[in-house]
Amino acid sequence: MKFILLLLLPTLSHAFTLNNSIGARYKEDRVQVRAGLNSSCVNVDMQEVASLIQPAIKDFWNTVPTSRLILEDGGSFDVSNSFVTGKLCLIGASDCTSGIPAVTDIVITCNTNAADNFTNSALLALTLPTVISGKDIRGSVVIINENSTNFKNLNTNQKISVISHEIGHAIGLGHSDDRSSLMYFSVVPVRNDLGRDDIDGVSYLYPVQGDMFGLGCFLGSTDSRDGMWPTALLGFLLAIFLGRRIKRES
């Protein structure tokens, strides 16, 4: 009986982290990732970045069957100098008067603002959900450090990993301490797939909901806003049912 409970009751602990305290995520199932082009970008080839969006989403975040989120390559578009020089901050915040403009979906661009953004010159990139409504992310911005050649000097696979890592922040995930995870806080030379923390994290924020036995019970709906108790209760009831059945048969 105890063994069955351990199998059926979902765990309330996890190793992944979120990048915000309210568990914000995109409400939509499909979110576009776009590259913002600007002629002043030199150390960051944004045309190259645009070409790496597809493998960054296809080989990583779109491979998780337990996540409802589908990321789409939105192509490239020209952005104003405000994206390149502006502060990465939450739109509407008191300290965001000279911030990067509001966006929808996810926008990746280069940025030169060392005073506000890249105070640590070794940083490759920064990401922030910049438009939040209630607990829903409406837009996120990824900025790649234009002040150094650190990103430029990476090989293609490393650049794809960095872009995909930053997209992870854009959809609401924080860092992981597990080196096997894409959301590990440091660049890993070879990265071919997601780690356990990554899969658990994106499934936590964007669960696939399934109706079991027509009863309207949603399995795997580990929603940080609504809680996991309906799923836990279902597991508990199933455990009792199976335990009694096994007892009768024995």
Cα–Cα distances in Å, from 208 out to 125, 186, 200?
30, 29, 12
Instruction: Dig out the tokens for 84 from the structure.
Output: 């390149």
Which domains are delineated in the chain? 2-13+207-249 (no CATH), 25-202 (3.40.390.10)
Looking only at the bridges linking them, the beta strands covering 30-37 and 70-78 are parallel
* pLDDT above 80 (res 11): no
Q: What confidence tens digit (pLDDT) does each residue in 178-230 have?
A: 999 999 998 888 888 999 999 999 999 999 975 444 443 333 333 333 444 44
Q: What confidence tens digit (pLDDT) does each residue in 117-155 have?
A: 999 999 999 999 999 999 999 999 999 999 999 999 999
Q: Which of 59, 149, 60 is nearest to 110 (CA)?
A: 149
Instruction: Dig out the tokens for 40 from the structure.
Output: 């002043």
Selected residue with higher pLDDT from 165 and 212? 165
Alpha helix positions (H), the chain: 2-8, 46-58, 81-85, 156-170, 196-205, 229-249
* CB half-sphere exposure, 151, CA atoms < 13 A: 28
CA distance 145 to 111: 6
Q: Is 8 strand, coil or helix?
A: helix
CA distance 64 to 148: 34
* pLDDT above 80 (res 26): yes
